[in-house]
Structure 1
C-alpha cells in the first residue's frame, strides 16, 4: 500500500476514535445528570408524601376519599386511577398508596 492510503486510513481511524471518545464522555455526563435528577425526584416524592401523611394522618377512609375524588376530577388534562382495596385497607391514587389501620390513615407511600 502506498503512503497516501496509510495516511487516509490513519486519519479515518483517529477520527473514529475521537468520535467514540466523545460519545463515551457524553453518555457519562448524561448518565450523571440523569442519576442526580432521579435521586432528586425520589427525594421530592418522599417529602411530599411525608407532608401529606403529616397533614392527613388520622383521617378516615370516608374523610379522605372525597378529597382524592375531587382531585381526580380536577385533573382533566391527565387520567388518574383512583381505587380502593378493601382487603388491604388501602387506597391507590396512581402510584401513591394510602394505608389505613383501624380505619385511620397511617402511611402514605
Structure 2
C-alpha cells in the first residue's frame, strides 16, 4: 500500500480496527486455499461411526482457538520488541543478513545440477 501510494502520490487512508478485522475475516473465509485446507485436512480426523458435522465443527473451533492464541502471542511479542524492530541499526543488520542469505541461496541454485 505505501509503495503504491508513493508511486501515485496519494495519501494512504487509515481504516478503523473493526473495518480491518471485518475485511480480514471475509478474505480468510473466502480464500480458496483455506477452503481446500479445511476440506482436505479436517475430515481425516473425523470418525465415521458418529455424527460428522459436530466433529468437524469441534475440530474447526480447536484450530481457530490455536490460531488466535498463536497470533496473539506474535502480537504480544512484537509489542514487547517494538523498540528493537524500530531500530535503524537492527534494520540495517537484518537487511544485510537477509540479503546475504538470498545471495547464498541464489548461488546454490545457480551451481546446482538440474536433472
The TM-score with structure 1 as length reference comes to: 0.38
Higher relative contact order, chain-length normalized (CA < 8 Å, sep 6+): 1
The TM-score with structure 2 as length reference comes to: 0.37
More strand, by proportion:
1
Q: From the CA coordinates, give the structure whose radius of gyration is larger.
A: 1
